[in-house]
Amino acid sequence: MFSRSILSRQLFRQAAPAAVATAPAFRSSILLQHQRRLLSDQTKQAITKAVASAPVVLFMKGTPETPQCGFSRASIQILGLQGVDPNKFAAFNVLEDPELRQGIKEFSDWPTIPQLYVDKEFVGGCDIIMSMHQNGDLAKLLDEKKVLAAGEETSEAESSEKKE
């Protein structure tokens, strides 16, 4: 499935010169790099397609209706509170596919799930989503990307009128 010869050449080129000093250190360095770069072209293409499938994409444990972890549940709740348009949202259950579960971590270089993408850009995990929700950055991002449900979007002029 993986092209081991190409992968080995890439890993060899990326190995630090200091790691070559001793064979065990070199082997250890290669193994660590190899473990981080097991994302097959097929999996990468599938994830790229998934990320592009909707303006807002969440890779999560479970489904929006039945989240299978507290972090996924919190992420779904935040997106709901923000007013994300369901027609502009897609969720992918990483528990259904072990290759997706590991692959998405390598794709984003982010170790945890859930993972949020907006307009094909990686935003972050639950901690980032929560922080952005609390400081208002998530609302700004979602409004800028025009992914809020009709009636949820407010222009700056409307916002300032409401404050007055």
Domain parsing of the chain, residue ranges: 4-38, 43-152
CATH architecture assigned to 43-152? 3-Layer(aba) Sandwich (3.40)
CA atoms within 13 A on the CB side of 153: 12
> For residue 39, what pLDDT band results from cuts at 50, 70 and 90?
confident
Mean pLDDT (the chain) is: 79
| Owner of token pair 């400081």 | 135
> pTM, whole model, 2 decimals?
0.71
Residue 152: count of CB within 10 angstroms of its CB: 14
Residue 154: count of CB within 10 angstroms of its CB: 15
Q: What is the pLDDT of residue 5?
A: 36
| The pairing of beta strand 56-60 with beta strand 115-118 | antiparallel
| Owner of token pair 């000093």 | 21
- Burial pattern 124-145, b for ≥16 Cβ within 10 A else e, equals bbbebbbebbeeeebbebbbee
Q: What is the pLDDT of residue 146?
A: 95
The answer on pLDDT for 129 being more than 70 is yes
3-state secondary structure of 65: coil
Residues whose CB is less than 8 angstroms from the CB of residue 67 and which lie 6 or more positions away in sequence, other chains included:
60, 61, 73, 76
Return the amino acid letter for 139.
A
Host H or E run for residue 138:
helix 137-144
Q: What is the pLDDT of residue 6?
A: 37
Q: What is the pLDDT of residue 32?
A: 43
> For residue 37, what pLDDT band results from cuts at 50, 70 and 90?
low
Phi, psi of 117 (to 5 degrees): -120, 135
Alpha helices in 37-136 (DSSP H): 41-51, 70-82, 98-108, 126-135
Task: Report the distance separating Cα 105 and Cα 141, nearest Å.
Answer: 23
